[in-house]
Amino acid sequence: MLNRWTALFALVLAFLCAPPSHAENAAGETVAYIFKKDDTLNSIAGKYLISTNSALQVQRLNGIKDATKIRPGTVLKIPVTLLKSTPMTAKVVAFSGNVTIAGSKGSVAPSIGSGILESQTIITGAPGFLTMAVSDGSKVSLPSNSRVKILRLRRYVLTGGNDIDLFVERGRAETTAAPVRNPNSKFRMRTPTAVSAVRGTVFRFGYEGPEGSSLTEVVEGAVAVDAGKSATPTVLPNGFGAALPKTGNLLKEQLLPPPAILNSGSLQADAKVMFRLSAVSGAKGYHTQVARDAGFLEMIAEDVSVSPVASFDSVPDGTFFVRAMAIADSGLEGLSDTFAFRRRYMEIGATEASAPTGDTFQINWIDQGATNTIYRFQLFAADDAAIPLVDEPGLEATGITLTNLPPGTYRWRVNMRQNTADGPVDIWSQPQMFTIDK
C-alpha cells in the first residue's frame, strides 16, 4: 500500500513540472540540470541544446551574472524548447474505415506500418478507427469521429526522457501507456481545457467540444488531471473518472460498472449483428464496440444507443470481440468486460415462389452466406407448427419443387449447415409464408 501511494505522489510531483497552460506549445516548461565540475554553459549547449546561442538564454533565465563562476552542484532550469532531441517513432498497427493523417504537406491515407510524425493530425470519420504504436511500447486507439494532433513525440538527449504529448481536438482516444522507467519521461494528453499526465496505465480521454466536457476515465493505474485552476492536479485511481464541463468545475466520480452482454454466446447470423445488454443503474446510454482482437486495437464498428441494445451493419464472417460501456450523466463512459462471438451471415434474402404448373410449385431461396452449405427444407400447415408436411434434409441446391399441394396457407423454413474453421454452423432461417388459392 505504501508503494502504491508513493507512486501516486511521484505522479503528482511529475505532473507539477508540467506547465498549467493547455496550449499546444511548451512555453514555460523547464527541466533541471545539476551543474558539474568542468561544465560550462557553452559545453552544455553544445551537447544538449539546440544551438550554442541557447547558453545565453539559460544564463538569463537563471539570473547568472558571470557564466564563468557557476559552482558545481548548482541546479539550472533549462527550457524544454531549447533541448536537443531525437524523434520517437509511431507506426500505424491497425485501421479501418474513413481515416486520414494530415500534416503540413497535405493529407494521406494510412497504411499498416506507416509512420506518424510530430505535428501531424489523425482524423477518423464515421466509421473510422486507427491504432498507433509508439516506440516506447505505448499504444493509442482512436474511435470514430475523432481528431488528435501529435504535439510532441521525442526523446531528449539531456535527460534521456521521452516526451509524448497528444492533443485531442475532438472525439476520444484510448491509451495503453508503457510503464515509465525514466523519471524524466512524460506522457500527456490534452484538450483545450484539461491535461492528463500518465505514468503507465490504461485510460480514455475525450473532448465533447466547447459546449461539452473534457473527459478522463482510468481503467488501470492512475492519472493526474489538471483543470488549470488549482495548485495541485486531481489524481484519479483505477476505476474513477473526471469530467470538466464548460462551467469549469472538475467532477470526479466512480465509473459505472460494465453491462453484461446477454446474448454474447449466440451465433450472429442475421443481416444485423445485435447485442442485448443488461441495464446499468445511472446510465443515460451505452457505447458498444466490436473488434477483431481482444485488446480492441483493431476496432471495426461501434454503436451508441440510449437503450441497452446495440446493432451493427456490415460485420463480415469470422470470430470477433465485443465490449460495452455504460455512459453516465456526466458523459463519462464506464468499465467494460470483453466477450468473444462468432459471426456467420446465413440469412435468407429474397425468395422466389413460382406459380403452380400443373401439380408442381417451386420454392427458391437465396443464401447470402458462403458456399458449400447443406440445406434442410421444412413445410408446415400455417395452423400446425409441430409436424412438418415436408421435411427434406441433405439439399445442395437453393430450391425445392413441391407437388400435389392443396389450396391453403403454408409456412416454410430452411436450415443451413456448414463446417467452418471455427466449427460447425447450424442455423434455421426465419419462417416464410405463402398461400395457394382455390
What pLDDT score does 363 carry?
85
Check pLDDT > 50 for residue 15: no
The answer to whether the 23-82 and 85-254 domains have the same CATH topology is no
Q: Give the residue-averaged pLDDT of 377-384.
A: 91
Q: In which band, very low, low, confident or very high, does the pLDDT at 6 lie, cut at 50, 70 and 90?
A: very low
**23-82, CATH topology level:** Membrane-bound Lytic Murein Transglycosylase D; Chain A (3.10.350)
What pLDDT score does 5 carry?
39
Q: Give the residue-averaged pLDDT of 79-106.
A: 95
Q: Give the residue-averaged pLDDT of 106-118.
A: 96
Residue 308 in grid coordinates: 441497452
What pLDDT score does 17 carry?
42
Q: In which band, very low, low, confident or very high, does the pLDDT at 230 lie, cut at 50, 70 and 90?
A: low
Could you state, in order of their start, the residue ranges of all structural domains in the chain?
Answer: 23-82, 85-254, 273-343, 348-436
Q: What is the CA radius of gyration of the chain?
A: 30
What pLDDT score does 157 carry?
96
Would you list the DSSP string of 112-138? Answer: TT-B--TT-EEEEEEEEEEEEEETTS-
Q: In which band, very low, low, confident or very high, does the pLDDT at 20 lie, cut at 50, 70 and 90?
A: very low
Q: Which CATH architecture has domain 273-343?
A: Sandwich (2.60)
Q: Which of 229, 415, 422 has the alpha carbon at shortest distance from 341?
A: 422
What pLDDT score does 132 carry?
97
Poorest-pLDDT segment among 36-50, 92-106, 172-186, 228-242: 228-242
Model confidence pLDDT, tens digit, residues 121-155:
999 999 999 999 999 999 999 999 999 999 999 99
CATH number for domain 85-254, candidates 3.40.50.2000, 3.30.420.40, 3.40.50.620, 2.60.120.1440: 2.60.120.1440
Poorest-pLDDT segment among 335-339, 368-372, 419-423: 368-372
**348-436, CATH topology level:** Immunoglobulin-like (2.60.40)
Q: In which band, very low, low, confident or very high, does the pLDDT at 10 lie, cut at 50, 70 and 90?
A: very low
